[in-house]
Chains A and B, each alone.
Chain A
Amino acid sequence: MNKITLAKYIAIIVFFVFGTHNRLFAEQENHESEAKKKLDVGALIMDHVLDAHEWHILSYNDFHLSVPLPVIVYSQTSGLNIFMSSKFHHEHKYVPYKGFALATEGVLKGKIYEVNEDGTPKTTTIVKNGEKVEEAVLPLDFSITKNVVALFVSLIIILWVFISIANKYKGVQKAPTGLQNAIEPLILFIRDDIAKPAIGAKKYEKYMPYLLTVFMFIFFNNLLGLIPIFPGGANLTGNISITFVLAIFTFIITTRNANKNYWVHIFNAPGVPWWLKYPIPLMPLVEVIGVFTKPFVLMVRLFANITAGHIIVLGFFSLIFIFGEMSVGVGYGISIVSIAFTIFMSVLELLVAFIQAYVFTLLSALYFGMATEEHH
């Protein structure tokens, strides 16, 4: 009963996300018909690792299956515009729509830029390093991109999993069953092996919801990223915007809860020779930089680890096609090696998925612990 209603909710949300347009799935596109287009592995990998305005599922010869996603852009000239990304496709070509166009190559590839009436890119002149440079005008892009959809999907899964598990804990206490058995050790692990030792048995409870949410968010998304087909496969935790937001949350919580002792340690660290603090405040400077490098490192570590995993796996698969271009037989031969390596990498990535979630949570907890540590 419960499961059926949840499935309904998911269906409704999926329709809400995609359903604003009548061309839902299965859209036949035909880009520039370049069947013999040279294989560009770098671009291929980047396309998979980066965000996109449509969710590409598969291509077979001239048939392209991809889900168009809503574009929400705010331009200083034309204001807020909402439309589906499929508007950029017209008769197998990328076309501008409502004064916006989708970049298909160059540094802006995949991004939406503003165009003039005649279809030429709008540019502004800015001064960079003393030189005047023409730069494309980019609107503020709040589109529901591939990563945003993946984000919503993962959050819905997380909400569903944990709220349904939480309901099992209500009422009379019974022995854990099913999924609860898988999740409970994780929760206990975060509580007993991360939060309690890092923050302290007295204060850890306040941070538990954040630590648990962050851990589960990273862990679930890392795993979803390993699933190659829709709705998995988005490189969400390997996207710097996501890790940036997570790191910012950790930074804000650390700074907001920091006690006097924390700031004293930064600006006037005890036990440090005076000449390191005066007249040149060397140590305070290092410490202040440290306050910002900690979340920065959190951001980069998660992003780099997950992106690297995706790139390696894609690289192994590309090998098949690189060799396949030379000779079909060699391509098939290499595929055995590639798949073996990919399986190995995927297993490794399973480990990395957990380790990165663990590391992010542990370091966040350590920073909270440092910020709230009492004078000793």
Chain B
Amino acid sequence: MQLVTPGIGLIFWMTLSFLIVLFLLKKFAWKPILESLKERENSIEEALNSAEKAKQEMLNIKSENDKILAQAKIERDGILKEAKEVRDKIINEAKKSALVEAEKLKQDAITDIKSEKENAINQIRAEMAILSVEIAEKIIRKELSSENKKEEIIQAYVQDVKLN
């Protein structure tokens, strides 16, 4: 029975000393401990937050960089494309003008050749005339060298004239 009967003495001492200890611990132990734990947690959280912030900022910068890079790429591609177009255009134009020029040269050459050919032919003709005259002269001379032949020819021509 004593086991389960609270005794006045122990209750009295317990209440008194527990209250004193509660007060002392509250003032000198729990308050500084809890406060500094809270402070520490806050500082850790702050540090974590600022780290997170820095990370976010880094990400922002990176994404901005990526953006700029992408834009630069696009721009570069554009410039390249334009340059290619310009190049193609220039080449095409050059090709065209070259063709025209070539044609023109060809035509000129053809005309030149034609005129040269004509000239040559004309020259050849004149040469041939002179040559044939010379040949004729030589033949005639040769023919006329003998009396018989002379007679014959005169005869022939006389006959021809007669016929006329």
Q: Which residues of A contact B33 (CB under 8 A)?
A: 162, 165-166, 169, 187
Do A50 and B3 contact each other (CB < 8 Å), given the known contacts A169-B33, A169-B36, A213-B22? Answer: yes
B14 & A241 in contact (Cβ 8 Å cutoff): yes
What is the chain B residue whose CB lies nearest that of A242? B14
In the complex the two chains form, what is the Cα distance from A158 to B40 in whole Å? 24
Q: Which of A173-219 contact B (CB under 8 A)?
A: 173, 184, 187-188, 191, 205, 208-210, 212-213, 217
Q: Which residues of A contact B1 (CB under 8 A)?
A: 107
Contact partner of B9 among A46, A142, A155, A188, CB < 8 A?
A: A142
Measured between C-beta atoms, what is the minimum distance from A147 to chain B in Å? 6
**B53 part of interface (Cβ distance < 8 Å):** no
**A111 part of interface (Cβ distance < 8 Å):** yes
**B2 part of interface (Cβ distance < 8 Å):** yes
Do A140 and B6 contact each other (CB < 8 Å), given the known contacts A155-B21, A162-B25, A212-B30? Answer: no
How many contacting A-B pairs (Cβ < 8 A)?
120
Q: Which of B15-64 contact A (CB under 8 A)?
A: 15, 17-18, 21-22, 24-26, 28-37, 39-40, 43
Contact partner of B10 among A46, A165, A239, A249, CB < 8 A?
A: A239
> A339-365, CB under 8 A of B: which get 1 and which 0?
000000000000000000000000000
A151 & B13 in contact (Cβ 8 Å cutoff): yes
A169 & B21 in contact (Cβ 8 Å cutoff): no
Q: Which residues of A contact B7 (CB under 8 A)?
A: 51, 141, 241
Q: Which residues of B contact A142 (CB under 8 A)?
A: 8-9, 12-13
Measured between C-beta atoms, what is the minimum distance from B147 to chain A in Å? 156
Q: Which residues of A contact B34 (CB under 8 A)?
A: 187, 191, 205, 208
A213 & B10 in contact (Cβ 8 Å cutoff): no
A158 & B25 in contact (Cβ 8 Å cutoff): yes
**B161 part of interface (Cβ distance < 8 Å):** no
Measured between C-beta atoms, what is the minimum distance from B10 to chain A in Å? 4
What is the chain A residue whose CB lies nearest that of B35? A169
A240 & B29 in contact (Cβ 8 Å cutoff): no
Interface centre among A51, A166, A191 (most CB of B within 10 A): A166
B37 & A145 in contact (Cβ 8 Å cutoff): no
B30 & A155 in contact (Cβ 8 Å cutoff): no
A173 & B14 in contact (Cβ 8 Å cutoff): no
Contact partner of A173 among B6, B8, B9, B36, CB < 8 A?
A: B36
What is the chain A residue whose CB lies nearest that of B18? A245
Q: Which residues of B contact A148 (CB under 8 A)?
A: 9-10, 13
A151 & B17 in contact (Cβ 8 Å cutoff): yes
What is the chain A residue whose CB lies nearest that of B2? A50
B36 & A241 in contact (Cβ 8 Å cutoff): no
**Which 9 pairs, one residue from A and one from B, show the smallest C-beta to C-beta distance?**
A241-B10, A162-B29, A209-B26, A169-B36, A241-B6, A166-B29, A245-B14, A244-B6, A142-B9
Residues on B lying within 8 angstroms of A by beta carbon are 1-15, 17-18, 21-22, 24-26, 28-37, 39-40, 43
A-B contact pairs, 14 of them (CB 8 A): A50-B3, A110-B2, A141-B8, A155-B18, A165-B29, A166-B32, A169-B36, A209-B26, A212-B25, A217-B21, A239-B10, A241-B14, A242-B10, A245-B14
